[in-house]
Amino acid sequence: MKKYLAAVASLLLFPASAGAADNVKIGFITTLSGPAGIIGKHMKDASELALMMLGGKVGGVPAQIVYGDDQQKPDIGRQVADEMLTRDKVDFLTGVIWSNVMLAIYQPAIQSGTLLISANAGPHEIAGEKCAPNFFSASWQNDQTPEAMGKFMDDQKMSDVYLIAPDYAAGHDMMSGFKRFFKGKVVAETYAKFGQSDYQVEISQIRDANPKAVFAFLPGGMGIQFVKQYAQAGMREKIPLYSAFTVDETTLPAIGDAAEGNYEVGFWSPDLDNPRNKEFVTAFRQKYNYWPSYYAAQSFDAIAMIDRAVAAAKGDLADKKTMIAALEKADFPSVRGKFKYNTNHFPIENFYLLRIVKDPDGGYVRKTEKTVFADHADAYAGECKMQH
């Protein structure tokens, strides 16, 4: 019985295709199960769309995307990455939503020489001293987005701002990013429990402190709850709510009108006016019938980058140098328009102020209002000692 089980197990475990050298294998690590699975869905849908639009090929070579579920846990992410690198022998590794997962897989990925393209996470460690030539970001460095909000509020000469974020590494990073550019007075900096559902206590605190504005970083379900409760407490009319990574296309459907009029900040929005983005958003809405989020946009770009890299190396996947040089030029069509890469392979890009408004087709969308930061570079590039 045991031998039978072992045989079946090994049949299932051995890789399906061994040694098809003319095939590009792309490993995509994301979260597919659990409540954060919605983000994984956006990313998977976008990357599949991108590959489909390329005719199933990158750089002219037939390609296959292998998806792995990190279950939002860094040690599982590490295990999935190990599997992809050693068992599936992927030629590219991409995806990765969470900074702690990225930090867990970074070392083995970089050491293997495989090209690692982040479609979301951008912890500051890998923008600075841990930078590596075979890493590229298709998104941003974590601090850049709150920095943009900090700059906007500073430009507006706002003062007395109340900050709120969950008590974990990313929460603290976001707030330091904000304070890097916001020089006004911070009334309070509150860190709520990660995964907290009821924010009435913090909302009462906000009312008592009476700031001029609130800046929040509360991703996922936390943001949905906070924004809804904030509106129900009647605070929205009194103290405007600004946020980053809190109200986006993955959470807007659940928040609904409680988010109307709120401000967000980001490097991309579905209505960004460039031909590539229009192509992407139209195709995405047509195929999947919902608004893509920046997670989707970043994943779409990641596949385009892989396409560009393979094309430059003319299908020779071992020629990492050519691929890296090609990617550094950042001349592939990107949904964010034209941009450049910094010395640490993080983008130098624009950041926009976004407003949540009603969508004529029903629901709510994020609309670009103005550019807050043109060609914004991240704060850690100076620490990167990478040779070129």
68-87 residues near other proteins, rule: CB under 8 A: 68-69, 71, 73-75, 78-79, 82-83, 86-87
Contact by Cβ (8 Å): 338, 269: no
User: Hey, CA dihedral for 174, 179, 181, 186, is it positive or negative?
Assistant: positive
Residue 194 binds to other proteins (criterion: CB under 8 A): yes
Name which of 105 and 372 has its Cβ closer to other proteins.
105
| SS3 assignment, position 297 | helix
Q: Which of 21, 22, 157, 208 binds other proteins (CB under 8 A)?
A: 208
Q: How many residues bind other proteins (CB under 8 A)?
A: 71
Alpha helices (H) along the chain: 2-13, 37-53, 74-82, 99-111, 124-127, 144-155, 169-181, 200-209, 221-232, 235-238, 252-255, 275-288, 294-312, 320-328
Q: Where are the beta strands (DSSP E) in 292-346?
A: 340-341
How far is it, in rounded angstroms, from Cα 138 to Cα 128? 17
Name which of 18 and 387 has its Cβ closer to other proteins.
18
Name which of 40 and 59 has its Cβ closer to other proteins.
40
CB of 274 to other proteins, least distance (A): 27
Q: Which of 74, 80, 76 is nearest to 98 (CA)?
A: 74
**Residue numbers 232-271 binding other proteins by CB under 8 A:** 232-234, 250-251, 253-258
Q: Which of 60, 221, 261, 337 binds other proteins (CB under 8 A)?
A: 221
Q: Which of 25, 41, 151, 236 binds other proteins (CB under 8 A)?
A: 41
**Residue numbers 103-162 binding other proteins by CB under 8 A:** 103-104, 106-107, 123
Strand 115-118 versus strand 135-137 pairing type: parallel
Name which of 107 and 282 has its Cβ closer to other proteins.
107
x/- contact string, 297-336, with other proteins (CB under 8 A)? ----------------------------------------
DSSP state of 98: -
